[in-house]
Amino acid sequence: MSIASCQLDNLTLRDGYVLNTLLYRPASYHTHIFLVLGKNECIYKYQEFTDFLYKQNFSVTIYDHRGQGTNAKILDDDRCHIDSFNTYVEDLNEVINHYSSHHNNYICAISMGALITLNYLKSISEHSFKLQNKFKGVIFISPFIGLKQFIPFSLLYLLISLKILIEGKEKFVIPNDHYKPRIFGENANTQDLTRFLKYNEVHEKYPTTKMGGITNGWLKAALIAIKNLTTTNWNLFLPSLFVLAQNDNMVATKKSMNFITRHTHDTCKIDYLMLLNSLHDILIEKDEIRGIAIKRIIKFIEEQNSSK
């Protein structure tokens, strides 16, 4: 299956903003997956993975986050900005309401997408019965639940708050942090050269998908979203699989393990897979890592589909 044979669609949101979406719809399918992307990703990044799912008769809905991917930017250049992660959460809610299927629905959330999805689930956890029949489970891949910062969380929050007071929300956290292509073997998120080059080709084919670094406002919004998840008690009410990269070079895997431990006794079972020697981009990692991850994801879905 090629990109050309997928259905491009868009969704006009509550405030008039338009989200671009990509829909994989087999003639007959039993499972529907919402693929919630990470920061600075786009709907064309995971074509190999979505092609695989399509061949398994899975339906897939992918959308670009507000201000990212093929969507209109929030600011007038490539800065990655948002005032509140609640905006991302509300966008996800609208995507789910518009595209959810009568079949078995799942969320597969990657990196920042996991932070958005967990905040979405927390926001409705008190009314979880409404989703018991809509979703069978959720998969988190390299979830962004904590930064790899070298200073305490509270101090980082204070520093970024002061930075906003001095500079404003829309300045880069790192000055002049415009888009720069990653270098394989140095700061790439995968150890697979072929898949690394293929993703770079996506950026060249769709230049508007190139994004620079984060703004002060985005970082503070992310810290608030992390704090919302990790400092209060709440029930993760859907069966969940966390797929973690042992050598994650973007997010703190340890924080994900802390989260899993904290929710061990929630309503539904939480499981995890730790991928040895894996970098952050698990779905475009080398075959021996990626294959293990995909096999476990499919097993998780089959287990949930066969349950009552």
List, for residues 146-200, the tens digit of each pLDDT value: 998 789 999 999 999 999 999 999 999 999 999 999 999 999 999 999 999 999 9
Q: So what's the pLDDT on residue 6?
A: 83
Average pLDDT of the residues of the chain: 94
In this prediction, residues 268-272 reach a mean pLDDT of: 94
User: What average pLDDT score do residues 117-136 get?
Assistant: 79
- Asked if 286 and 190 touch (Cβ cutoff 8 Å), the reply is yes
Residue-wise burial string across 126-154, b where 16 or more C-beta atoms lie within 10 A, e elsewhere: eebeebeeebbbbbbbbbbbbbeeeeebe
Q: What is the mean pLDDT of residues 49-74?
A: 96
Ranges 2-16, 27-41, 131-145, 155-169: which has the least confidence: 2-16
Residue 128: the pLDDT is 59
Average pLDDT estimate for 291-303: 98
143 and 251 Cβ atoms separated by less than 8 Å? yes
Instruction: Please list the alpha-helical segments (H only) found in the chain.
Output: 47-55, 85-99, 112-123, 129-132, 153-167, 193-205, 216-230, 253-262, 287-306
Give the pLDDT mean for 21-35.
93
Per-residue pLDDT band for 132 (boundaries 50, 70, 90) equals: low
Residue 4 scores a pLDDT above 80: no
pLDDT at 5 over 70: no
Using alpha carbons, select from 166, 172, 161 the residue that is nearest to residue 221.
161
Q: What are the structural domain ranges in the chain?
A: 3-306
Q: What angle do CA 163, 116, 264 make, to 5 degrees?
A: 110
The answer, yes or no, to whether residue 206 has pLDDT greater than 80, is yes
The Cα 88–Cα 171 span in angstroms is 20
Residues 255-285 as b/e (b if ≥16 CB within 10 A, e otherwise) read bbbebbeebeebebebebbebeebbbbbbbb
Reported pTM: 0.96
Q: Quick one: pLDDT at residue 101?
A: 79
Q: How confident is the model at residue 13 (pLDDT cuts 50, 70, 90)?
A: very high
Question: Does residue 130 surpass a pLDDT of 90?
Answer: no
Q: Is the pLDDT of residue 123 over 70?
A: yes
CATH 3.40.50.1820, domain 3-306, yes or no: yes
Tell me the two tokens of residue 295: 């096999």
Query: What one-letter code names the amino acid at 45?
Result: K
Angle 148-234-151 from CA coordinates, rounded to 5°: 20
So what's the pLDDT on residue 1?
Answer: 43
Summarize pLDDT for 223-268 with one digit per residue, the tens: 999 999 999 889 999 999 999 999 999 999 999 999 999 999 998 9
Alpha-helical runs (H) found in 21-111: 47-55, 85-99
With beta carbons less than 8 A apart as the criterion, state whether 136 and 178 touch. no
Distance CA 223, CA 107 (A): 23
- Alpha-carbon distance values, 5 to 23, 226, 234 (Å): 10, 38, 42
Whether 133 shows a pLDDT value over 80: the answer reads no
Give tens-digit pLDDT for 66-78. 999 999 999 999 9
Contact between 179 and 185 (Cβ < 8 Å): no
